[in-house]
Structure 1
């Protein structure tokens, strides 16, 4: 396959980034505005509401994560326009959210429930604004874009033995093909990479980046150690019952399988949660965070990922409100048993009917089709569970 000829059809945004989807987002600045935001989205085809439980009574880094993440969602290239809904007395000001999104150059409207005189009036004004945005966004056309404009987030969930043997290496190969063309991929879940830091650091582009790799994994390990409570010994395991039943019995086995999602490309930097790379920097990144499905996926999307490659040997139906999540397994039984939840079966690697290279190329073709508008299983089912703002 000549990947030099590969492009995808995306939506070019005012800030130059490229989207794979074209939604209007209704974003509440605080949980008190969730129902209002959802009421607006229900009345406007093409709009989505980003429900969350935070925005007030937070301080310090916890507060910063909320502000950073909500701004990143609004600025994301898969979003064409935004309606911000505030309450009026929350700690995270809806004005700050509005101004942060406005800097991206996309259309954004802003309504505050207390200032509008209540819920009903706010919903009416929000619906009017969202309908105008959707009508405008429907006129935008997809354009041919190089793979250098694509960023793929990688994730494991419901891991079994086939994940490390087939699904993860296939994702890694697809990521190598993307980064070879100037595109980007993100590896995270650092608590499940403990023990692989030497391997990862050896792939860093500079000694400074290698130090960042060591620091990130050490920080996660120390954080996990601080949370171990001897009063509850049965609650301290890093391996889930599903992992164990699926043939992954230790965190070392899980780490050695999970690292394959990154392929073999050099690591160009370590990103903070929901923080895009420096302008012009592309390639394979690590993101500092642990493995909670929703939180880590949201963070990688906040870094700019327009697609998620999600491997699962046990089966997982979850999706994200405005980013397509491609579900991949290496387990033939799981694929046949939960076919409606899957997009790609890498089981041919285990059966000997395909290689990691050939299946990686096949997965890249699917990634390009999805980036160009083909819907994933999670999108057709309506899964949106993976939007979760991290709290510390």
Structure 2
């Protein structure tokens, strides 16, 4: 990548107290229970078109997973300030979250609806604080940012028969180039990688990591079998995919050819550059239903791992974006691109028409990552998409074989 023009202009970001740098400087308005969702949403709506994003957890009784993900999102490098909106009687540890955020030197404020006079009063106070925070963040300077400080994730949604031929391998080429420059890259969807575990094992940095990957995919297969469903949707079949194995191989293509250096779980930040597999299927007995209820739930988990940008491949088409971190859409099917061009950033279907090679598409994606990292809005950002969803899961801590040793 060092000889390409996309590196001519340096990256820039906002420095955080933990040493990470963000490519956005967002005020996050976070509701801590569904009962506070409306008030938080109304506050956010006053700042449409400004860097104010809505996130939150709907449950009244958060578990360790929900608490960890919210803490990671509230201190994500793209977040500069946080307003917490509480009803007042939920079980979320709002003071613990507030302290966690304050310890990172981010402005943070908590509004409790039951103590502030109700809906109108809380909205008015929230709007006032967010306006102050937006003005404060606008004065913060940007600093130089290197490629090895960037975390890029990938996910596929609405896959069809072209996904594994065009968009997914194009992202794999982009990943290889980004990793060569020291970036951390994350791929996931272990439930859609069934059958590919031994391919990944051969690419693992250590034999122990390879064994962990095999066990992780086996866990996903058991989880789906217990629930009596897989990850093969009717839309996949309508789009020309024939088997789960075909879909898995297409999903696997997003990982590229680089060595896999680590296996992480939601909320674990990659300690070094390189390629990481994110395990998104809960540990323990099956208790929470579908492990991936929507693409946006997976994007949230990738962001909880520090992803600055998510590369979203789609053949059938998808119009979702995300709060906090930009989503870049890579469309696999040229016919889908023609219908949904206003939502798509890259037409990887040009490969089918002989208009581009995989290497050229990979380079185009890397160039777009550079532009978006430096502030250019992706299509979903420009359209105002800020989808967000967080539910319940359960995970055990990582084992010693899962992460690379720093400096090695």
**Structure 2 length-normalised TM:** 0.88
Q: How does 1:1-392 map to 2 (within 5 A)?
A: 2=2, 5=7, 7-44=10-47, 45-54=50-59, 56-58=60-62, 63-228=63-228, 236-278=229-271, 281-289=272-280, 291=292, 292-385=294-387, 387-392=388-393
Higher-helix-fraction structure:
1
Alpha-carbon offset, residue 51 of structure 1: 4.5
Distance verdict in 2 for CA 1:160–1:151, change over 3 Å: same
Q: Does the 8 Å CA contact 1:274/1:298 hold for their aligned counterparts?
A: no
Alpha carbons of 1:102 and 1:3: their partners in 2 closer, same or farther (altered >3 Å)?
farther
Distance in 1 of aligned mates of 2:183 and 2:162: 27
What's the CA shift string for 1:30-58, capped at 9, x where partnerless? 1111122122222344322224422x145
1:224-245 CA distance string (max 9 Å, x none): 11111xxxxxxx3531111112
Give the unaligned 5+ runs of structure 1. 229-235
- 1: distance between equivalents of 2:12 and 2:128? 30
Q: TM-score of the superposition, structure 1-length normalised? A: 0.91
Alpha-carbon distance in 2 for matches of 1:245, 1:51: 34
1:119 Cα shift? 3.3
1:156 deviates by 0.5
C-alpha displacement of 1:125 = 2.6
Matches of 1:144 and 1:53, distance apart in 2: 37
Paired residue secondary structure (1:135): helix
Deviates further, 255-264 or 137-146: 137-146
The alignment covers a number of residue pairs equal to 377
The answer on whether the counterparts of 1:39 and 1:123 sit within 8 Å (CA) in structure 2 is yes
